[in-house]
Chains A and B, each alone.
Chain A
Amino acid sequence: MAGIESRVRVHRPPVFRAGALHLGPVMLLIPALASIGAISLYPVMLGLWLSLRDTSLASPTDTFIGFGNYIQLVTDSQFWGAWTHTMQFTFVSTLLETLIGLLIALVLCEQFRGRGLVRAAMLVPWAIPTVVTSRMFGWLFDGQNGIVNYLLRSTGIIHRNVDWYGSPDFALVTIIIADVWKTTPFMALLLLAGLQTIPESLSEASVIDGANAWQRLWHVRLPLLAPTLLIASMFRALDAFRIFDLVYVLTGGGPADSTEVLSTLTYKHLFSALQVGYGSSLSTMMFITEIAIAAGFSWFLLRKMKEVGQ
């Protein structure tokens, strides 16, 4: 073994020197590109192909049916229900996380004692596994013994226990609360980093010009933060759109399908009904929606950048 290795080492230098100068650096990307190609790109292509077939893990049928799955999908009320819930969840949670995150970031921008402690505490929700978060919120918001119900009752805000994720009216709200808890701190840290790149001299100048705190925020810091804000919320929205763990563990899509989202619906089609073809057409639709979301944000971002450039 050692002999082979040393021989290889003797042979390598000339390969690097001769003509491989341009190939050399690209070679270093091959392990990473190969694993991503094999695990992400190839399966995506395979998924597109599967979505055009009537195939199932349970039966041997496997025929090409063109856009048959998609035609079935467009008239599938379960699909549109899940699509609507996913969009509602994505929109509301991204909006809340961005706004609250911005608020927290602005506070953390101030100098005060214990700031490091606050920043450290904010990393806790980010580090906790999402499955643990789901179970934690399952216990916090439990319909009978949940401490949230207890606190709300003892402060007189509610008079009877609310069956949070057990009722179709509040289940999606509970999931949004759990998601806001888990991801807002991270959003705040990103925005804080963005705020700290804004040169102090600009704020200083506006203060000398007699701007008050509100004007300073609205006319100096927010416009400069806008690109960061847009990029951060775009990634947040794309990530929120894929939500799976929280819903699967907390409600399983129920009650009465009120929290069914695209990922959980697709998962059920794939692994409960074993409809690989139909499930794949669902995930293709998710892809298309994600691209649309990314395109929407990019359009805003480009416009914003042009404004700043002028």
Chain B
Amino acid sequence: MNALSDHRKVLALGFKPSSARRVLVYAVAALIVCWSIGPFLWQTSTSFQPDRVLLAATPHFFPYPITFEHFVSIFTEKSFHRYIINSAIVTTITTALCLVFGSIAAYALARLEIRGRFRILWFFLAVSMFPQIAIVAPLYVLASNIGWLDSYRILVVVYLALGLPLVIWVLFGYFRSIPQSLDEAARIDGAKPMRIFFRIILPISLPAVVTTGLLCFIAAWNEFMFALAFTSDINHQTVPVGIANFTGLHYVPWGDIAAASVVVTLPLVILVLIFQQQIINGLTGGALKE
């Protein structure tokens, strides 16, 4: 690692970047940061401002006077916690199932004798590119026939199928990168594939599995269309549906919307910042390795 960065430094010196170029790089970098987090910062600032300030002619960039009325309002008047509970249940079960089904499938594809493994892998990728609207109506008909509308089940089952291709691709790339010599000894001793998976492969892949779980969690947490189509009561609707449904009688309640956005996004943003290196590796590594 150190040798590599030294090598890069030497190269960077070799290129002798002019100081004008340095300034340009820093300027663009600053622009990227403002562009990326600016809208969310403004949303956060908005959530702490009273409505009369928000609707004034000149906006306040920083929240003064500061108010918590929007946070109070979303939980007391709009029962926002209901949506959060629904989302938490659906997302947690989905992530757990995705990791179980996806990791054993990825393990089989990456390290066991399977004919046409790449064809199967491409199949998973192709499925994830389907226009999702194409399966909404048939699934709606099926779900209503078996009485699964307005339930957690239907969302879990759908998100499982939507999340599996991602989980399998990311973990496939990772499992492939583990040297064969590691489990060779166990295989020679006659250990069964599942035993090797649980005793050797899974323990050393735990960081990758956690990252993949996080990706899966974010995808399920953010899904909107199926939740909108399949649920119609507050006991099963998820957070995105709740936020989409925030409307006021006379004006759009921008303050409440901002407060709700901050409540559901801040945990994601913090998680992403903590795991940023792993997420970037997981998302980009798998795509480029094969």
Contact = CB atoms under 8 A, between A and B. Distances in A.
B43 to A, nearest CB: 5
A200 B101 contact: no
B104 to A, nearest CB: 5
A64 B14 CA distance: 72
A124 B37 contact: yes
A204 interface: yes
Nearest to A117: B33
Nearest to A29: B105
B132 A270 contact: no
A139 B11 contact: no
A13 to B, nearest CB: 7
Contacts of A22: 113
Interface stretch (A73-81, A237-245, A301-309): A237-245
Given A29-B108, A132-B265, A50 B137 contact: yes
Contacts of B58: 150
Nearest to A104: B32
B158 to A, nearest CB: 6
Nearest to A145: B55
B7 A193 contact: no
A220 interface: no
B280 A123 contact: yes
Nearest to A28: B108
B130 A40 contact: yes
B137 A204 contact: no
A12 to B, nearest CB: 9
B224 A204 contact: no
B137 A283 contact: yes
Contacts of B50: none
B67 interface: no
Contact of A40 (B161, B194, B288): B161
A190 B11 contact: no
A234 to B, nearest CB: 9
A145 B285 CA distance: 43
Interface in B89-130: 100-102, 104-105, 107-109, 112-114, 120, 124, 127, 129-130
A190 B58 CA distance: 40
A42 to B, nearest CB: 8
Given A39-B158, A271-B229, A280-B138, A139 B108 contact: no
Main SS at interface, chain A: helix
Contacts of B55: 144-145
Contacts of B240: 129-132, 245
Contacts of A197: 288
Contacts of A57: 141
B165 A107 contact: no
Contacts of B35: 181
Interface residues of A, number: 103
Interface string B262-290: 00110011011100100110011101100
Interface stretch (B20-28, B74-82, B178-186, B204-212): B20-28
Contact of A25 (B114, B165, B239, B261): B114
A121 B157 contact: no
A270 B137 contact: yes
| Listed residue (A43, A111, A116, A142) with the most chain B CB atoms within 10 angstroms of its CB | A43
B36 A125 contact: yes
A217 to B, nearest CB: 12
Contact of A111 (B9, B33, B138, B244): B9
Contacts of A194: 288
Given A35-B157, A130-B224, A132-B265, A286 B134 contact: yes
B136 interface: yes
Given A22-B113, A129-B243, A266-B133, 20 more contacts: A24-B112, A28-B107, A32-B101, A32-B164, A33-B105, A40-B130, A47-B134, A104-B32, A124-B272, A128-B268, A131-B224, A134-B244, A135-B246, A139-B258, A144-B55, A190-B287, A200-B8, A207-B15, A245-B224, A287-B131
20 contacts: A13-B192, A25-B108, A25-B112, A32-B105, A40-B135, A47-B138, A107-B28, A119-B276, A120-B272, A121-B36, A123-B276, A128-B40, A130-B240, A135-B261, A139-B257, A238-B129, A248-B228, A262-B131, A270-B140, A279-B137
Interface of A: 13, 16, 22, 24-26, 28-29, 31-33, 35-36, 38-44, 46-47, 50, 57, 103-104, 107-108, 110-112, 114-132, 134-140, 142, 144-145, 147, 150, 181, 185-186, 189-190, 192-194, 197, 200, 203-204, 207, 213, 228, 231-232, 235, 238-239, 241-242, 244-245, 248-249, 262-263, 266-267, 270-271, 276, 279-280, 283-284, 286-287, 290, 294
Interface of B: 7-9, 11-12, 14-15, 17, 22, 25-26, 28-29, 32-33, 35-37, 39-40, 42-43, 46, 54-56, 58-59, 100-102, 104-105, 107-109, 112-114, 120, 124, 127, 129-142, 157-158, 160-162, 164-165, 168, 192-194, 218, 221-222, 224-225, 228-229, 239-241, 243-244, 246, 252, 254, 257-258, 261, 264-265, 268-269, 271-273, 276, 279-280, 283-285, 287-288
